[in-house]
Structure 1
Amino acid sequence: MNPILAIFKEHNISDAQINELFQTLTENPFAAMATIGQLGIPAEQLQQLMGMVMQNPALIKEAVEELGLDFSKVEAAKAQLQP
């Protein structure tokens, strides 16, 4: 299992919530960050999660694909954040 998804599962975050989070990520990355903050993951684990993603951005792609979502939408959302 993808380590991002494993951390969510460890904190009893439902599949529906995970799918909604990644769907939000494809539409509005800033809203996704706010949503992550509301999931109740302790700050130290959230920092660990963010560190994993920073060191290995492919983890997001793997998680999106594992969830059966369209990664091209994540790329489009990321492009919107670029100045």
Structure 2
Amino acid sequence: MNPIIALLKDNNISDGQISSIFEMLTQNPLAAMATISQLGLPQDKLQMLMAQVMQNPALIKEAVEELGLDFSKVESAKEQLQK
């Protein structure tokens, strides 16, 4: 299982919320980060999650594929971040 998904599940985040977060990551990464920060994760887990998301985009791709979402949206979101 993808480490980002595993961390969310370990902290009692529902499958629906996880899918919603990754859907948001594909459309608006900054809004997704705000949503992630509001999940009530312990600070150390939140920092670890944010670091994984920011430092390893391949994990996002894996998670999106694992959840059956459209990765092409992730690519366009990544382009938005680079602007």
Structure 2: runs of 5 or more not aligned = none
Aligned residue in 1 for 2:77: 77
Moved >6 Å (runs of 4+)? none
In structure 1, the partner of 2:67 is 67
CA–CA separation in structure 2 for the residues paired with 1:10 and 1:51 = 17
The Cα RMSD (Å) is: 1.3
Structure 1 length normalisation: TM-score? 0.89
Query: Are 2:49 and 1:49 aligned?
Result: yes
CA–CA distance in structure 2, aligned partners of residues 59 and 29 of structure 1: 14
Q: Which runs of 5+ in 1 are unaligned?
A: none
Counting matched residue pairs gives 83
Whether 1:10 and 2:10 are equivalent positions in the alignment is: yes
TM-score, normalised relative to structure 2: 0.89
**Where do 1:16-27 residues align within 5 Å?**
16-27=16-27
Q: Secondary structure at the match of 1:5?
A: helix
| 1:74 aligned counterpart, secondary structure | helix
